[in-house]
Structure 1
Amino acid sequence: MDIILASASIRRQELIKRLTNDFTVLVSDFDESTVEFKNDCAAYVMDIAQGKAQWVKNKVKNQALIIGCDTIVSFNGKVLGKPKSDEDAFNTLKMLSGNIHEVYSGLTLLDSFSGNIKKDFVCTRVKFSPLSDEEIKKYIETGEHKDKAGSYGIQGYGGIFVEEIHGCYYNVVGLPLNKLSKMLKGMGVNL
């Protein structure tokens, strides 16, 4: 069975190669704004991941196992998406400074032939060290923040902000490999 990753994320494409090189990418154009946030981060990311997988299912003709994924950062009950500007990124990083936040990823596996679907999520708690305004500005100058939920990338320069992590590191990068591997095995895929 073909495996399709429904994501434009280069990070996810790199990470899935740790499980298999036998996959294709079909970027989902699912409108995430159609999913209403109801104060449940786990349900929210799983619903978006399912929407991405369903969108791709409607575009494929052969039997495939479609992987949908979505990642958000949550702080004090508020979802922090990708920054809209450098100022937005600065304010987000200032808010996370010295605090603990959660990173949620939702995963959906969808068999395009049978319609069989599996959904799950991972939550990782991340603590930032206190950050000075200068440290934040220097980081923003790298441009790394621009396409990252929570305005940072743990796998890049943003990793220096992280004092502690409780949970899956790869979840924070954007694709929880351990959970995905278990879900694939549960769908009968032996990698």
Structure 2
Amino acid sequence: MSEARPRAGEPELSPSAQSPHGSKGGGPVSAPPESIILASASPRRREILSRLGIPFEVQPSGADEASLSMEDHLEFVRAAALVKLETVMSSSARRGAFVLGADTIVCVGRERLGKPVDETDAVRMLELLVGRAHLVRTAIALGKVGEGPLDCRIVETRVWFGPATREQLTRYVAAGESLDKAGAYGVQGLASGFVTRIEGSYSNVVGLPAAEVVALLLEHDALDRWP
């Protein structure tokens, strides 16, 4: 079984974020004075932006995408990212600040997998993924406080799981990596041992497509330059 690795040019990610909740992250990349607000509590998204050297601040949206009713997977993930984006934009007093929202889902067959509700649900999700391919879809939405949403894009990555026993899946879930992740697994952790192949953006599977985020921020002048 081959180990999943990042594409050339994408950051290699550690299992946990380096930036503390609510802190500023990033490095030498030039951003406008308004900076960028990340509308997410995800430590993995914080780490991806930090590794890219993008200056940002964290303001979790607190939005509950579970209330969204659309059945189409693409419509759902797009709407979820926009809800997070608009929630933070409406509550921020920082007029002119850019806000980045994101949502990730795992799609296998006709089923859409978000975060599991408990360990039993996590094992159920993983059993759906074993021995087949699935799609990881992340919507990234950019907006500006005082102006509204500017753009929303969806990035897809195809991931293949090899065979695994129920006992292996149960032990993996018990290790504590599952409950805060769409599809109940983290490709950058123990679950890399289940993954036999990745087609597309590795960082998208982690939670934020690095190359596409950079392109989005540059296109809308949220960054003056990169790197």
TM interval, short-chain normalised = over 0.9
For residue 137 of structure 2, the aligned residue among 92, 97, 104 is 104
Q: CA deviation at 1:31?
A: 2.3
Structure-2 residue corresponding to 1:11:
44
Structure-2 residue corresponding to 1:161:
194
Asked whether the 8 Å contact 2:141–2:149 carries over to 1, the reply is no
User: The residue matched to 1:117 in structure 2 has which SS?
Assistant: strand
Structure-2 residue corresponding to 1:92:
125
For residue 150 of structure 1, the aligned residue among 140, 158, 183 is 183
Distance 2:86 2:201 in 1: 26
The aligned amino acid for 2:82 is Q
Q: CA deviation at 1:116?
A: 5.0
Structure-2 residue corresponding to 1:42:
74
Structure-1 residue corresponding to 2:8:
none
Q: TM-score, normalised by structure 1?
A: 0.95
The aligned amino acid for 1:133 is R
Structure 2: gaps (5+ residues):
1-33
The aligned amino acid for 2:210 is L
Structure-2 residue corresponding to 1:51:
83
Q: Greater RCO between the two (CA within 8 Å, min separation 6)?
A: 2
Asked whether the 8 Å contact 2:81–2:102 carries over to 1, the reply is yes
Distance 2:118 2:58 in 1: 28
Q: CA deviation at 1:127?
A: 0.5
Distance 1:32 1:116 in 2: 17
For residue 53 of structure 2, the aligned residue among 6, 15, 20 is 20
Q: Following superposition of structure 1 onto structure 2, how do residues 62-77 of structure 1 map, counting pairs within 5 Å?
A: 62=94, 63-77=96-110
Q: Comparing 108-117 with 90-99, which one deviates more in the overlay?
A: 108-117
Cα deviation digits, residues 9-37 of structure 1 (max 9, x gap): 00101111122352100010222123222
Distance 1:156 1:162 in 2: 11
The aligned amino acid for 1:47 is A
Structure-2 residue corresponding to 1:129:
162
Q: CA deviation at 1:43?
A: 2.3
Distance 1:139 1:115 in 2: 41
CA RMSD for the aligned pairs? 1.3
Q: TM-score, normalised by structure 2?
A: 0.80
Is 1:172 matched with 2:187? no
Give identity over the alignment, percent.
37
Asked whether the 8 Å contact 2:125–2:183 carries over to 1, the reply is yes
Distance 2:149 2:63 in 1: 20
Distance 2:54 2:143 in 1: 19
Q: CA deviation at 1:4?
A: 0.1
Structure 1: gaps (5+ residues):
none
Asked whether the 8 Å contact 2:86–2:149 carries over to 1, the reply is no
Is 1:61 matched with 2:63? no
